[in-house]
Structure 1
Amino acid sequence: MDSFSYLSGFGNQHATEALPGALPVGRNSPQRCPYGLYAELLSGAAFTAPRAGNLRTWMYRRQPSVVTARYTPYEQPLWLSGTAQVEPSAPEPLRWGPLPWGQPGRDFVDGLCSYAVNGDPDAGLGIAVHLYVADRSMGDRALMNADGEMLIVPQQGALNLRTELGCLRVEPGEIVVIPRGLSFKVEVEGPVRGYVCENHGAAFRLPELGPIGSNGLANPRDFLAPVAAFETDEAQNRPYELIKKQDNRLWRCTQPRSPFDVVAWHGNLCPYKYDTRRFMTINTVSFDHADPSIFTVLTSPSDTPGWANCDFVIFPPRWMVAEDTFRPPWYHRNVMSEFMGLVYGQYDAKPEGFKPGGASLHNAFVPHGPDTEAFAGASSAALQPHKLDHTLAFMFETRMRLRPTPFALHEAPLETTYDQCWVGLADHFDASKP
């Protein structure tokens, strides 16, 4: 039974049923569930976490997820998490061209290629950044990541996701987040490419707004969750391959049924999608420009206030109106590490060199900023109100250094001359001309 309707609201308590009366009334785990279903709890936080931060969902399904088989290792050597298998790299800026399509016949699981990692999934710290290319649907195959939640940013081609809690379709310009521990599969209608942040820390949430006030940035009502939907009897009665990521390893088993058999559910731990075109952009209307934190869509906080385990930041279309101001990002060295991608259009600080589908990494205190062309143009431009349009760049920003993977350094389209984009920044100092 398929449904592509949506429940709205980030972090809300949702209640949805694919059959009338499938949700028990007044009890989470009654002695006998309606329709002969089983009750199963998915917890995304400790039972005793404060109410405001407690994540959990009750599912009512045809068979509990314990009905499975034994696991054996699954080889996908390009998908890494944590730093145990990755050596430190030189403190220099890195940039990659778009990830090539590569071998045909890959699905989402086999099409993931890790570019940079930090932290440790077992310690609940850090992130892993992946790019994916795929041209095949997962079919009778599902993925469950026990190491982290997955924030997926499509760059080319739509993804149709079936999760245990329902279906979501996400296109370039939108994002989707799959909670840790929830099974899903990705169906495609042609070649697809995009980015993934695998978050091992605290679950993504909306940032605090502080002096911005109660309105602005991403509005909770614009986050969409799926309604309950379960696969047909035909799908329920055929074998499914389940790929599970745990302890930075992939495992596989063949179970006798589909994992997508949840007839009803209620709770606040669920997949959700967001259309970045609904982001309420805030910026200066006088001079200078604010820190890029004003473009934060979601944050995974750390134990140090203000130093995020990961911020997901976007650079969407917006008006530039600041007077007497160098409008592109200034040259900077940050305590945070920045992994950047471009979904479509042109990025104003790198008008020619940064391509859609490409990526860059500027680790903590690695200097970076506009290239020579962008600096020259912005320094001499007549400052009229100007709209940056038809563009969407984003950043995964993290408090820990990101280590590039062997694939990123030796197989991905790494631009070995990236640093040359700044060689034209000549010394114009003249002590006689203040």
Structure 2
Amino acid sequence: MNRPFAPVAAARLAGFGNHLASEAVPGALPVGRNSPQRPAFGLYAEQLSGTAFTAPRHENRRSWLYRRRPSAMHGPFAEVSHPGLAPARHLSPNRERWSPHPLPDAPTDWLDGLTLWAATGSAAEGTGVSIFLYACSAPMEGRAFASADGEWLLVPQQGRLRLMTEFGPLDVPPGHIALLPRGVRFRVEVDGPARGWALENHGSPFRLPELGPLGANALASPRDFEAPHAAFEPDGPTRLYLKLGGRLFATDLPHSPFDVAAWHGTLVPFRYDLARFNAMGTVSFDHPDPSIFTVLTSPSDTPGTANCDVVLFPPRWMVAEDTFRPPWFHRNVMSEFMGLISGTYDAKEGGGFAPGGSSLHNRMVAHGPDVESWRRATEAELAPVKLDQGLAFMFETRGPLALSDAALAHPSRQRDYDAAWNGFPPARLP
């Protein structure tokens, strides 16, 4: 059935890490208990656990859903092929950059338009991440997707996404991100060509970073993460896809999996408007470490070293005195995958990094501004300036990122990327 793409009212449930509740039918949500003998309206109570039962209270993520049928009501899964999920096996110290991902020529939904680009760690061992690019032009008709391998972070670059989740719908236009917990079933609808990036986090669930000396009010505020209102849709046959161990499986349902009439808990999908990020920066000298732009973090077993950080480079003021203002030349123990959502990035003003483009600098590989950006920054008059022409992000992970066959062979790959660092004059030593 072709479901029309309709706008969704702005979500009013908010608060990252909060215990939230919503009901589509008054009285559907039990009061004072989770699993009554006879839930209202003949609904079925089901717990969705995103952490172990015994995880510390402040880290425990779980929700209770009250649905028309148990989610266990399905036949066996069978493995299906998906060329875009071929594993990433090519590890290299070479710096890589890609032009914007092309949009599909034929109608393609989000799942079919998904391509694994880079990965590190192991979904089975709960470490690392997988990074995908997507390009689509059609809604997922009669299909739904879930991942047992990790939670998903979606970053639209072009085209609005409408996510139908078990918890209700979320609109996610460019300039926003969406976070979908591990195992949550969802469908992606579009009303035109769309592309962007997706990150699958195999490690500990994302959380807001500690603020330390920054104090109580900085970076991303918990209240700006919006959750969906409960909603359910008419029944219709649905093919459910499940990603497990990097492989894709499917089963056919005679009904919609989006049949939740009420829910409550701490494990919920969110969307976040990147324009609400309160960027911090220097008001004296030196460019701060990029960690000061962290939106979300997935900690590892090494304190202070993230399994994955989601970092944002938003519009902001630059006022540092006697300072080279773009990000400096560096080599990093973390691997860095970047994407440009809009505008220009201040460390790559020499061209080649266009909106929709991506780059990869693996751990301990030297990188930094291109020669044109270096020259402009070195010769600039250091008056206060507003960087308001670009929006970029970075996925930073402690593991080395291997590339897929698709990423290496793709025509958008810029094989001359190293030339961005040609032409630097030698220092004039006495």
TM over 0.5, shorter chain: yes
Pairing of 1:38-49 with structure 2 (within 5 A): 38-49=44-55
Q: Does residue 74 of structure 1 match 2:85? A: no
Give 1:75's aligned amino acid.
S
Give 1:138's aligned amino acid.
M
Tell me the secondary structure at the aligned position of residue 122 of structure 1.
coil
**2: CA distance, partners of 1:30 / 1:90:** 55
Q: Does residue 242 of structure 1 match 2:244? A: no
Partner of 2:399: 400
Give 2:59's aligned amino acid.
G
Q: TM-score with structure 1 length normalisation?
A: 0.96
Give 1:22's aligned amino acid.
A
Number of aligned residue pairs: 423
Partner of 2:64: 58
- CA drift of 1:72 comes to 1.6
Give 1:263's aligned amino acid.
A
Match of 2:253 among 252, 255, 271: 255
Tell me the secondary structure at the aligned position of residue 374 of structure 1.
helix
Contact 2:90 2:404 in 1 (8 A): no
Q: Does residue 357 of structure 1 match 2:356? A: yes
Tell me the secondary structure at the aligned position of residue 89 of structure 2.
coil
Pairing of 1:194-213 with structure 2 (within 5 A): 194-213=196-215
Q: C-alpha offsets along residues 21-49 of structure 1, whole Å, 9 cap, x if unaligned?
A: 10111110000000110000000010011
**2: CA distance, partners of 1:299 / 1:147:** 18
Deviates more, 1:86-95 or 1:123-132: 86-95
Pairing of 1:87-98 with structure 2 (within 5 A): 87-98=89-100
Structure 2, unmatched stretches of 5+, are none
Contact 1:338 1:362 in 2 (8 A): yes
Give 1:262's aligned amino acid.
V
Tell me the secondary structure at the aligned position of residue 84 of structure 2.
coil
- CA drift of 1:73 comes to 1.6
Match of 1:138 among 137, 140, 147: 140
Structure 1, unmatched stretches of 5+, are none
Give 1:12's aligned amino acid.
N
Q: Does residue 34 of structure 1 match 2:36? A: no
**1: CA distance, partners of 2:296 / 2:428:** 42
Q: TM-score with structure 2 length normalisation?
A: 0.97
Tell me the secondary structure at the aligned position of residue 83 of structure 2.
coil
Contact 1:163 1:183 in 2 (8 A): yes
Contact 1:104 1:134 in 2 (8 A): no
- CA drift of 1:412 comes to 4.7
Partner of 2:267: 269
**1: CA distance, partners of 2:52 / 2:355:** 40
- The alpha-carbon distance between structure 1 residues 227 and 208, as it changes in their structure 2 partners (threshold 3 A), is same
Match of 1:118 among 117, 120, 129: 120
Q: Does residue 230 of structure 1 match 2:232? A: yes
**1: CA distance, partners of 2:83 / 2:72:** 28
**2: CA distance, partners of 1:274 / 1:90:** 34
- CA drift of 1:66 comes to 1.0
**2: CA distance, partners of 1:6 / 1:226:** 8
Contact 2:218 2:278 in 1 (8 A): yes
Partner of 2:285: 287
Partner of 1:182: 184
Tell me the secondary structure at the aligned position of residue 105 of structure 1.
coil
**2: CA distance, partners of 1:86 / 1:158:** 28
Q: Does residue 304 of structure 1 match 2:327? A: no
**2: CA distance, partners of 1:292 / 1:7:** 30
- CA drift of 1:137 comes to 0.0
**1: CA distance, partners of 2:183 / 2:131:** 18
Tell me the secondary structure at the aligned position of residue 419 of structure 2.
helix
**2: CA distance, partners of 1:6 / 1:145:** 26
Give 1:326's aligned amino acid.
F
**2: CA distance, partners of 1:319 / 1:145:** 39
Contact 1:86 1:404 in 2 (8 A): yes
**2: CA distance, partners of 1:269 / 1:252:** 24
**2: CA distance, partners of 1:316 / 1:35:** 47
Q: C-alpha offsets along residues 205-251 of structure 1, whole Å, 9 cap, x if unaligned?
A: 1000011111100000000001100003xxx1x21110111111001
**1: CA distance, partners of 2:420 / 2:155:** 27
Partner of 1:170: 172
- CA drift of 1:113 comes to 1.0
**2: CA distance, partners of 1:38 / 1:90:** 50
- CA drift of 1:89 comes to 2.9
Tell me the secondary structure at the aligned position of residue 418 of structure 2.
helix
